[in-house]
Amino acid sequence: MRVQEKIKPRTEETMRSIKSIVKLMIPSRLMKNYHTWKRSRVHRVNKARPIKEVFTRVYEEHQWGGAGDSYCSGSGSSGFHASQYAAVVKQLIQDKGIKTMIDLGCGDFVVGRALRTEGVKYIGIDIVDNLIHKNLEAYGDAITSFQSLDMVKDQLPDGDLCIIRQVFQHLSNKQIVSVLQKTKKFKYILITEHYPAPFVKIRVNVDKIHGPDTRIHDDSAVFLDEQPFNVPTQSITLISDIEAQMHLVHKGERLKTFLIQNAHSF
C-alpha cells in the first residue's frame, strides 16, 4: 500500500507534465477548438442533470482538484486571494456590525475558515451533502454551522451579510436571478466574480449551463447591473479589484468583489 501511495503521486505528476508538453506542441487555435468542443459536450450532459448531481460529481471526481476522499473547491479558494478577501470581509463585519453571515457555496471551507470572527455566527451553505457532512464534523462549533441546501430552490437562513464568492460564474442566468431574488432579505450582499482581462472584447452575461466551467471562456462574466439581473447601479459598490493569480484564458483577468446594499430595491 505504501509503495502504491508513493508511486501514484509521481504518476499523476508525470501525466500533468506530459499534458503540459503536449499543449505546448499543439497550435493554440486547435487547442481552443478542442476546449470549445469539450465544453459543449459537458454542457449537453449537464443540461439533463439536476444541479445537485452535477456539483456532487464535480467534487467527487476532483474536477477542481484534490484527491482520494478529500473535497477541493479549486485554486480560487487558496493563497493570496483568500487572505486578501478575508481581510475585506472582516473589515466589513466590523464596519457594519455584522452578527450573522451566510456563505452561499461555502465549498471546502478553506476561505470560510479565514472569515471566522469572534462573536459572529457563520452558516455555510452548499448543495453537496457529503461535503457539508465533512465540514460539520471537522469545523462545526457554537458559532460555525453548515446546511445542505439548494440555493436556487430552497429557503435561505436569516442573517445580516450574505457572501457569494465565485459561485454565480458556475450557474445559468436563470439560476442567478433566482438566487438574487432570495438574497433581498439580507441587509448586505457581498458578491465576488472572475472577469476577463481588460483588453478582451467582453460579451455581457452570456448564458451557460450549470457546471464546473465559467463564462470566461466565452469572453464573458456576471455583470450584475445588466440584463437579466438588473441590480440598480446605485446599490452596488466595488470594494475590491485584484488581478487573478490563476488566469483561465488570458493573463490580466480580474477578481472583483461588489457590496450590494438596499437589496430590496431590485
Q: Do 104 and 40 have their domain in common?
A: no
Q: Are residues 127 and 172 in the same domain?
A: yes
In a domain, 64, yes or no: no
- The whole-number average pLDDT for the span 26-54 is 75
Query: 214 and 85 in one domain?
Result: yes
- What domain range is 155 assigned to? 75-265
Q: Are residues 28 and 97 in the same domain?
A: no
- Using the predicted structure, report yes or no on whether residue 12 has a pLDDT greater than 60: no
CA dihedral for 241, 127, 54, 153, sign (positive or negative): negative
Same domain (yes/no): 172, 246: yes
39 and 103 assigned to the same domain: no
Instruction: Supply the pTM of this predicted model.
Output: 0.85
Residue 74's identity, in one-letter code, is G
Q: Answer yes or no: do 207 and 83 share one domain.
A: yes
Split into its structural domains, the chain has a count of 2
d(CA 248, CA 243): 12
Angle ∠(191,93,55) on CA atoms, nearest 5: 35
Residue at 54 is within a domain = no
pLDDT confidence of residue 149: 98
**Do both 199 and 103 map to the same domain?**
yes
Asked, for residue 187, whether it belongs to a domain, the answer is: yes
Same domain, 207 and 103: yes
Residue 63 lies in a domain: no
Pairing of strands 254-261, 188-195: antiparallel
Q: Are strands 188-195 and 236-243 parallel, antiparallel or unpaired?
A: unpaired
Does the residue 229 lie in any domain? yes
Is a pLDDT exceeding 60 seen at residue 23? Answer: no
pLDDT of residue 14: 59
Q: Within this chain, do residues 108 and 192 fall inside the same structural domain, yes or no?
A: yes
pLDDT at 121 over 60: yes
More confident residue, 11 or 6: 11
pLDDT exceeds cutoff 60 at 199 = yes
- Establish if 42 belongs to a structural domain: yes
Identify the CATH number of the domain in which residue 168 sits.
3.40.50.150
- Same domain for 26 and 129: no
User: Tens of pLDDT along 205-241?
Assistant: 999 999 999 999 999 999 999 999 999 999 999 999 9
Q: Are residues 44 and 101 in the same domain?
A: no
What whole-number distance in Å separates Cα of residue 36 and Cα of residue 57? Answer: 21
92 domain residue, yes or no: yes
Q: What average pLDDT does the chain have? A: 87
Q: How confident is the model at residue 21 (pLDDT cuts 50, 70, 90)?
A: low
Q: Assign 45 a pLDDT band (cuts: 50, 70, 90).
A: confident
Any domain includes 65: no
Three-state SS sequence of the chain: CHHHHHHHHHHHHHHHHHHHHHHHHCCHHHHHHHHHHHHHHHHHHHHCCCHHHHHHHHHHCCCCCCCCCCCCCCHHHCHHHHHHHHHHHHHHHHHHCCCEEEEECCCCCHHHHHHCCCCCEEEEEECCHHHHHHHHHHHCCCCEEEEECCCCCCCCCCCCEEEEECCHHHCCHHHHHHHHHHHHHCCEEEEEEEECCCCCCCCCCCCCCCCCCCHHHHCCCCCCCCCCCCCCHHHEEEEEEEECCCCCCCCCCEEEEEEEECHHHC
